[in-house]
């Protein structure tokens, strides 16, 4: 009864907020960028809640249980890159340039900056085809929590969650997304503070808990001490051995992939275009920074310290107690260690985390389908693209649910890192060039976009063991699960290979081709170097 009441109240409030957003959505501008007049508090919480999902709490909390406190370097990058650099060095320029170019989506922003329709529909296709990976793992994270905590069927939880989110995104557009994000982000924030305080209280305080984790140095995440040493494990409160398998996976995929890839996330970049001045972005930095710190630091520390709790109570590591599935570590810990009422309340926090990220993902996929692919190809503008965007959202939801049924265990963090890496490889080089390099050309941008995307895809299929092995294409064609079998190459993230290629291609081709017209570039950069808080 308590659970039913809590969830019903939560869904009713979300429904009301979504209704308000629907009433205020009158045009394509409202649907895509919220009329460019979003309050900084709503923008900051929406950005943070979109960034931090069940992927961070459930997926990366499980990763922390496997790798230990080394994952805390990602907290540093989340704040430095994901908030400070993103808002101060990219957000202000993106907001102003987006206004100059009347861009409503990230692909449209890039295409108008470089005067290329190809960039718009190719970028839209990358988002619409690739983003279901991320959306599906966010769904999986939530469904696993419901399955473990409430003993409900995983498949039912998956479908119901997706349907609820789809309804308010389809009708409310980005206003519906951002209003509900602000509500859900507030719930997530207080839920994580309580969980972090609870685990330290249970384990005897900050010093005793961290020392107990350090003392588990001989309780290793592999089957034997020898196996763990071979992979580079050195302890739960220290980094893996430099250059080892553990180190490459932790640093190149989990820390760098997400820490750097955040700059090129289309669902986050579009947030910058929803505020009316730089002043709002300045005010949003502190709010976003505090939110991201609490959410990521809390999830990673709880994941790491859950090893102490499970070893003291069951003699097992957290991953062993969760049946070997990293995605079940946080749900298993909460079900075992926390009172039932908190499990219910934290489920609402996780519902919030999942719904906020899913809503943004579905909205971006829908607008990519309607605005960036359909509208660009058929050359029709206006309200028709909103209708097609709504169709795209429905398709995106269906794809995410189907993938949620078939994805393997321990996939949440891997899927998140993969999507962040794909966007970094495809978009980051040309995004930086778009807002900072006036000499960059259309040909250079296309070269960077294509080379980054294709090299990343090639390495996912043939070079990166975590993806190449289950796909089996490399094995079928070459007899090996990866084309290069010697360490460390099978554990090197695709972004590490593809992003430098994209950067070089963008620079070299731009320098070899005719510079863009000065009048066009001046229009793009109008007011960027002179506007202070405007």
Query: CA 138, CA 361: separation in Å to the nearest integer?
Result: 10
Query: Contact, 363 vs 169, CB < 8 A?
Result: yes
* CATH number of the structural domain 2-425: 1.20.1730.10
pLDDT digits (tens, 9 = 90+) for 369-390: 877 777 777 766 554 667 777 7
Q: At what angle do helices 429-436 and 106-114 cross, to 10 degrees?
A: 60
Least confident of 63-72, 215-224, 410-419: 215-224
Cα dist from 270 to 267, 361, 400, whole Å: 6, 11, 22
Tell me 317's DSSP state: -
CA atoms within 13 A on the CB side of 33: 25
For the record, the structure tokens of 99 come out as: 């206004």
pLDDT band at 304 (very low <50, low <70, confident <90, very high): very high
pLDDT digits (tens, 9 = 90+) for 185-214: 777 788 889 899 999 999 999 999 999 999
pLDDT band at 226 (very low <50, low <70, confident <90, very high): very low
Please report the pLDDT score of residue 149 as a whole number: 67
Query: CA 515, CA 195: separation in Å to the nearest integer?
Result: 55
Query: CA 270, CA 360: separation in Å to the nearest integer?
Result: 10
pLDDT higher at 309 or 364? 309
pLDDT band at 174 (very low <50, low <70, confident <90, very high): low
Please report the pLDDT score of residue 111 as a whole number: 92
For the record, the structure tokens of 520 come out as: 């066009």
**Smallest Cα–Cα separation from 501: which of 438, 432, 450, 461?**
450
pLDDT higher at 165 or 172? 165
* Segment 474-499 mean pLDDT: 86
For the record, the structure tokens of 86 come out as: 């993103």
* 513 pLDDT higher than 90: yes
Chain mean position to CA 283: 23
Query: CA 49, CA 292: separation in Å to the nearest integer?
Result: 8
For the record, the structure tokens of 348 come out as: 């609402």
Please report the pLDDT score of residue 534 as a whole number: 45
- Phi-psi label, residue 324: left if phi above 0, alpha if psi -120 to 50, beta otherwise: left
- Per-residue burial over 466-475, b = 16 or more CB atoms within 10 Å of its CB, e = otherwise: bbbeeeeebe
Cα dist from 246 to 65, 233, 239, 317, whole Å: 13, 7, 9, 17
Most confident of 38-52, 172-186, 377-391, 399-413: 399-413
**Residues of the chain with pLDDT > 90: what percent?**
22
Handedness of CA 534, 357, 249, 421 (dihedral sign): negative
Please report the pLDDT score of residue 531 as a whole number: 46
pLDDT band at 224 (very low <50, low <70, confident <90, very high): very low
**Residues of the chain with pLDDT > 70: what percent?**
83
Chain mean position to CA 494: 16
**Smallest Cα–Cα separation from 366: which of 175, 183, 174, 180?**
174
Which H/E stretch holds residue 26?
Answer: none
pLDDT digits (tens, 9 = 90+) for 406-464: 877 767 778 888 888 899 999 999 999 999 999 999 999 999 999 999 999 999 989 88
With vertex at residue 482, the alpha carbon angle to CA 74 and CA 414, rounded to the nearest 5 degrees, is: 30
* Segment 38-67 mean pLDDT: 74
Mean pLDDT of the chain: 81
Tell me 72's DSSP state: G
Query: Contact, 318 vs 67, CB < 8 A?
Result: no
For the record, the structure tokens of 383 come out as: 């309200």
Query: CA 30, CA 38: separation in Å to the nearest integer?
Result: 10
Query: CA 228, CA 246: separation in Å to the nearest integer?
Result: 9
The string of DSSP letters for 326-395 reads GGGHHHHHHHHHS-HHHHHHHHHHHHHHHHHHHHHHHHHHHHIIIIIIIHHHHT--SHHHHHHHHHHHHH
* Segment 267-281 mean pLDDT: 75
User: Torsions phi, psi of 204, nearest 5?
Assistant: 95, 15
Query: CA 102, CA 338: separation in Å to the nearest integer?
Result: 50
pLDDT digits (tens, 9 = 90+) for 75-98: 898 888 888 888 888 988 988 898
The string of DSSP letters for 222-252 reads SSSHHHHHHHT---TTSPPPTTSHHHHIIII
Cα dist from 283 to 75, 96, 280, 378, 406, whole Å: 21, 17, 5, 40, 42
Q: In the block, which residue shows the tokens 């999507």?
A: 419
Query: CA 78, CA 160: separation in Å to the nearest integer?
Result: 31
* Segment 265-288 mean pLDDT: 77
Please report the pLDDT score of residue 391 as a whole number: 84
Q: How many residues does the chain have?
A: 534
* 265 pLDDT higher than 90: no
Please report the pLDDT score of residue 172 as a whole number: 54
Query: CA 306, CA 231: separation in Å to the nearest integer?
Result: 22
Instruction: Name the residue ranges covered by the structural domains of the chain.
Output: 2-425, 439-515
User: Torsions phi, psi of 201, nearest 5?
Assistant: -65, -40
Please report the pLDDT score of residue 310 as a whole number: 93
pLDDT digits (tens, 9 = 90+) for 487-509: 788 888 889 999 999 999 999 99
Q: Is 519 exposed, middle or buried (0-12, 13-18, 19+ CB in 10 A)?
A: exposed
Query: CA 133, CA 400: separation in Å to the nearest integer?
Result: 7
pTM of the predicted protein model: 0.83
pLDDT band at 175 (very low <50, low <70, confident <90, very high): low
Most confident of 45-49, 53-57, 158-162: 158-162
Query: Contact, 212 vs 308, CB < 8 A?
Result: yes
Which H/E stretch holds residue 17?
Answer: helix 2-23
Handedness of CA 90, 92, 95, 100 (dihedral sign): negative
Query: CA 496, CA 481: separation in Å to the nearest integer?
Result: 19
Please report the pLDDT score of residue 449 as a whole number: 96
């Amino acid at each position: 009864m308590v659970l039913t009441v809590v969830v019903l109240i939560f869904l009713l409030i979300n429904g009301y907020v979504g209704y308000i957003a629907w009433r205020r959505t009158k045009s394509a501008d409202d649907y895509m960028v919220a009329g460019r007049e979003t309050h900084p508090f709503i923008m900051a919480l929406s950005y943070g809640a979109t960034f931090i999902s069940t992927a961070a709490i459930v997926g990366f909390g499980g990763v922390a249980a496997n790798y230990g406190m080394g994952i805390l370097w990602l907290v540093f990058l989340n704040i430095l890159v994901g908030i400070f650099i993103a808002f101060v060095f990219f957000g202000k320029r993106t907001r102003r340039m987006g206004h100059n170019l009347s861009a409503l989506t990230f692909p449209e922003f890039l295409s108008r900056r470089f005067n290329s329709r190809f960039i718009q529909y190719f970028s839209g296709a990358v988002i619409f085809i690739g983003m279901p990976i991320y959306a599906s793992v966010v769904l999986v994270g939530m469904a696993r929590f419901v399955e473990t905590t409430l003993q409900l069927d995983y498949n039912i939880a998956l479908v119901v969650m997706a349907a609820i989110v789809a309804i308010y995104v389809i009708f409310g557009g980005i206003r519906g997304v951002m209003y509900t994000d602000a509500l859900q982000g507030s719930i997530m924030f207080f839920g994580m503070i309580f969980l972090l305080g609870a685990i330290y209280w249970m384990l005897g305080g900050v010093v005793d808990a961290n020392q107990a984790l350090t003392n588990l140095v001989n309780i290793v995440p592999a089957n034997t001490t020898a196996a763990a040493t071979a992979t580079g494990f050195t302890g739960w409160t220290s980094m893996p051995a430099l250059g080892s398998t553990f180190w490459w996976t932790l640093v190149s995929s989990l820390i760098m992939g997400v820490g750097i890839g955040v700059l090129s996330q289309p669902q986050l970049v579009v947030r910058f275009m929803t505020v009316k001045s730089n002043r709002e972005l300045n005010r949003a930095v502190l709010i976003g920074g505090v939110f991201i710190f609490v959410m990521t630091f809390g999830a990673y520390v709880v994941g790491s310290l859950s090893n102490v709790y499970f070893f003291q109570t069951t003699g097992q590591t957290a991953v062993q107690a969760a049946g070997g599935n990293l995605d079940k570590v946080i749900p298993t810990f909460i079900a075992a260690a926390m009172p039932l009422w908190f499990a219910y309340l934290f489920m609402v926090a996780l519902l919030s985390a999942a719904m906020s990220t899913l809503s943004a993902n579905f909205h971006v996929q829908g607008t990519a389908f309607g605005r960036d692919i359909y509208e660009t190809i058929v050359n029709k503008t206006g309200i028709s693209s909103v209708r097609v965007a709504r169709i795209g959202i429905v398709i995106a939801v269906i794809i995410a649910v189907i993938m949620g049924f078939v994805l393997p265990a321990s996939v949440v963090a891997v899927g998140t890192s993969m999507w962040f890496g794909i966007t970094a490889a495809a978009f980051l080089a040309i995004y930086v060039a778009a807002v900072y390099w006036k000499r960059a050309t259309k040909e250079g941008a296309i070269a960077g976009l294509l080379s980054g995307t294709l090299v990343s895809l090639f390495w996912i299929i043939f070079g990166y063991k975590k993806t190449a092995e289950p796909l089996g294409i490399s094995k079928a064609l070459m007899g090996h699960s990866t084309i290069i079998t010697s360490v460390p190459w099978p554990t090197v993230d695709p972004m590490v290979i593809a992003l430098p290629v994209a950067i070089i291609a963008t620079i070299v081709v731009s320098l070899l081709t005719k510079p863009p017209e000065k009048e066009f570039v001046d229009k793009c950069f109008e007011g960027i170097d002179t506007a202070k808080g405007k």
